[in-house]
A and B are shown apart, each in its own frame.
Chain A
Amino acid sequence: MLLRYQVSDHCYMKVLNKLCKYLKLVCITAFLLPYTVVADDFTEMPVDAGRLEVFVECSRCHSMQIVNQQGLTRSAWEKLMVWMVEEQSMIAMDDDKEKLVVDYLSKHYSPEARKEEFQARGRLRYP
């Protein structure tokens, strides 16, 4: 309850489980303050390869709430990476990481993946 991690896609999980026990103890001793290391934005991201990398790389400059609004094609995500590096002072990722990040975004934040949400917005407008 105290921990909202959902990083089962990562090998950190085992380490994390041990840390959980330790942290719960810390929390109890630290006046029961709620403990979350990462923003809710992270826990809401689909569990898949590249999740942590996407969270970390995007969150350096802006929150995942910006990403979470988008539904873009692979080509649009690729162009966006170039634009952010060339014009927005983003630190370039190495090729492997960029592929991982673009793979994740193109899969989970594509027009197709977001179609239902966008159609739901349409229903809001067109009741």
Chain B
Amino acid sequence: MKVDKQKITDAYAEHGELADELIFGRRTHKDRRGFLRGAGLAAMGALVGGFIPFHRNMPAGLIPAALAQSEGIAGKDGLIQLSDRPLNAETSVHMLDDNITPTNRHFIRNNGSAPASVDADNWTLTVDGLVDQAMTFSIEDLKSQFEVVTKALVIECGGNGRAFFYPPALGNQWTFGAVACSEWTGVRLKDVLLAAGVGDGVIYTAHEGADIHLSGDTIKSPLSRGMPIDKAMDDDNLIAFAQNGEALHLMNGAPLRLVVPGWPGSLSQKWLTRIWLRDQVHDGAKMTGTSYRVPNRPVAPGEEVATEDFEIIHEMPVKSLITTPANRISHLQGDALQVRGHAWAGDIEVSAVAVSIDFGATWQSAELDAPVNSHAWQNWRVAVEFPEVGYYEVWARATDSNGISQPHAIPWNPKGYLNNALHRIAVNVA
């Protein structure tokens, strides 16, 4: 009996319940468990190698572990998986060394499941709400009616760095790798909004995608966020249909997504189907409560903060990474160590990067490139020399064009957002 685990895993990653039905003919009871009238139980049993004693408990859309392909995510290379359902995966920091992040090393952040069908030819985007003329576009319409542009743009998850918070903050425990700077190709969001005509009184956008809520509730959206209209009119926001010159990866939002650099990645709606304009702050999924919000004041680690004291996150803070060398390397004394990485700062530029080898007592300037375009990360490099053998740490610290630098300590907040504490690596000099 030959079983193609990769195909089965891919099918479940795309849409668990559909895979249940297509592969096994399985339908579940009303509580989304078990096998309705036994449908599919024998088929699944045959593939996993035996009867399933607790079949009545088995959740819908759950790939049997016996069939799960654990050799990584199709089309991705070396991502660290934080969770399989929903699929979330980040990149090891030393694998983010490229100036332009290859698609196979771009992190994956999902709030729900990918849509069952992502047919680019029949995909449509609707722009409506407070517009002069509601419009619906195919991807071909977008390409033919608007200027197509390519830009290198940073997308960073608002919760990147959450793993280092203590007390722990609820959510995926991202370390450093929920950030990337790929080349995105698409049309400007601004051009499309102007074509529809921004109505009087519009203050906010609202984004909708075709992904499916984890509960399977088809009315519910897993994520629908929006931004102030001023930010929406920034030239660098794209409605993108290509990443690094190729069609989007399914898990990066194929066939159409928003790319809204500089602000939390959740604004870059994947599987984009609708943008509507509103005369109020959008109140969609993960816009309200404490989602993507931080306290309106500095708080102590572990402090309870009232929900009304939280504010929506706008721009992401200045940050840098050391992408070469990797952490914990050995180095020969006498040779200069070539250190390099990237730095970025929300909607503005990074003006300086410095490194320290003495725990922050003294700092040495790094050579810093201008960004290839606004909202791209900036590459930096520096050669450091060590005065004697022993244990060293290389710390990197970026400063933005407003003179704001990365903090040494972690800026704790209840939901674990915006951790831009400086990055450091260990070097054993022998």
Q: Is the CB of B170 within 8 A of A72?
A: yes
Instruction: Please give the distance in Å from A87's CB to the nearest CB on chain B.
Output: 8
Q: Is the CB of B172 within 8 A of A69?
A: yes
Q: Is the CB of B217 within 8 A of A66?
A: no
User: Once the chains are docked, how many angstroms separate the CA of A38 from the CA of B54?
Assistant: 9
Q: Is the CB of B163 within 8 A of A121?
A: yes
Per-residue CB proximity of B266-300 to A under 8 Å, as 1/0? 00000000000000000000000100000000000
- Hey, which chain B residues are within 8 Å of A30, CB to CB? 1, 46, 49-50
Pick from A16, A33, A40, A126: contact of B1, CB under 8 Å: A33
Instruction: Please give the distance in Å from A23's CB to the nearest CB on chain B.
Output: 5
Instruction: Please give the distance in Å from B85's CB to the nearest CB on chain A.
Output: 4
User: In the complex, which residues 32-91 of chain A have their Cβ closer than 8 Å to any Cβ of chain B?
Assistant: 32-40, 52, 56, 59-63, 65-66, 69-73, 76, 80, 83, 88-91
Q: Is the CB of A26 within 8 A of B50?
A: yes
Q: Is the CB of B167 within 8 A of A71?
A: yes
User: Once the chains are docked, how many angstroms separate the CA of A90 from the CA of B31?
Assistant: 10
Q: Is the CB of A125 within 8 A of B213?
A: no
Say yes or no: is B354 at the interface (Cβ < 8 Å to chain A). no
Which one of B56-64, B184-192, B371-379, B381-389 contacts A? B56-64
User: Once the chains are docked, how many angstroms separate the CA of A119 from the CA of B406?
Assistant: 22
Q: Is the CB of A33 within 8 A of B84?
A: no
User: Once the chains are docked, how many angstroms separate the CA of A15 from the CA of B53?
Assistant: 10
User: In the complex, which residues 81-123 of chain A have their Cβ closer than 8 Å to any Cβ of chain B?
Assistant: 83, 88-91, 111, 114-115, 118-119, 121-122
User: In the complex, which residues 21-53 of chain B have their Cβ closer than 8 Å to any Cβ of chain A?
Assistant: 31-33, 46-53
Say yes or no: is B146 at the interface (Cβ < 8 Å to chain A). no
Q: Is the CB of A114 within 8 A of B168?
A: yes
Q: Is the CB of A33 within 8 A of B167?
A: no
- Hey, which chain A residues are within 8 Å of B57, CB to CB? 52, 56
User: Once the chains are docked, how many angstroms separate the CA of A36 from the CA of B48?
Assistant: 7
Q: Is the CB of B328 within 8 A of A35?
A: no
Say yes or no: is B83 at the interface (Cβ < 8 Å to chain A). yes
Q: Is the CB of A59 within 8 A of B59?
A: yes
Q: Is the CB of B49 within 8 A of A33?
A: yes
Say yes or no: is B393 at the interface (Cβ < 8 Å to chain A). yes
- Hey, which chain A residues are within 8 Å of B213, CB to CB? 88-89
User: In the complex, which residues 56-76 of chain B have their Cβ closer than 8 Å to any Cβ of chain A?
Assistant: 57, 59-60, 62, 64-66, 68
User: Once the chains are docked, how many angstroms separate the CA of A96 from the CA of B310?
Assistant: 33
User: In the complex, which residues 127-152 of chain B have their Cβ closer than 8 Å to any Cβ of chain A?
Assistant: none
Say yes or no: is B426 at the interface (Cβ < 8 Å to chain A). yes
Q: Is the CB of B170 within 8 A of A76?
A: yes
Say yes or no: is B333 at the interface (Cβ < 8 Å to chain A). no
Say yes or no: is B173 at the interface (Cβ < 8 Å to chain A). yes
Say yes or no: is B175 at the interface (Cβ < 8 Å to chain A). yes
Say yes or no: is B330 at the interface (Cβ < 8 Å to chain A). no
Given A65-B82, A69-B83, also A118-B168 (CB < 8 A): yes
Identify the interface centre among B46, B171, B215: most chain A CB within 10 Å of its CB.
B215
Identify the interface centre among B84, B393, B424: most chain A CB within 10 Å of its CB.
B84
Instruction: Please give the distance in Å from B260's CB to the nearest CB on chain A.
Output: 24
Say yes or no: is B425 at the interface (Cβ < 8 Å to chain A). yes
Pick from B49, B53, B173: contact of A69, CB under 8 Å: B173
Q: Is the CB of B214 within 8 A of A88?
A: yes
Pick from A12, A69, A71, A73: contact of B82, CB under 8 Å: A69
Pick from B59, B83, B426: contact of A127, CB under 8 Å: B426
Instruction: Please give the distance in Å from A111's CB to the nearest CB on chain B.
Output: 5
Per-residue CB proximity of B86-104 to A under 8 Å, as 1/0? 1000000000000000000
Pick from A32, A63, A83, A114: contact of B85, CB under 8 Å: A63
In the complex, the chain B residue whose C-beta lies closest to that of A118 is B166
User: Once the chains are docked, how many angstroms separate the CA of A39 from the CA of B48?
Assistant: 12
Q: Is the CB of B168 within 8 A of A70?
A: yes
User: Once the chains are docked, how many angstroms separate the CA of A105 from the CA of B280?
Assistant: 38
Pick from B33, B49, B65, B289: contact of A60, CB under 8 Å: B33
Pick from B49, B217, B289, B328: contact of A34, CB under 8 Å: B49
Q: Is the CB of A125 within 8 A of B164?
A: yes
- Hey, which chain A residues are within 8 Å of B426, CB to CB? 127
Known: A30-B49, A66-B83, A70-B168. 18 other contacts (CB 8 A): A23-B50, A30-B1, A32-B49, A33-B3, A33-B48, A60-B60, A62-B83, A63-B84, A65-B84, A69-B171, A70-B170, A89-B220, A111-B166, A111-B167, A119-B166, A127-B393, A127-B425, A127-B426
Cβ contacts A to B, 7 pairs, < 8 Å: A26-B50, A27-B50, A32-B49, A69-B172, A70-B168, A118-B168, A127-B425
- Nearest first, the 7 A-B pairs at minimum CB distance are A127-B426, A89-B215, A33-B49, A71-B168, A65-B83, A89-B217, A26-B50
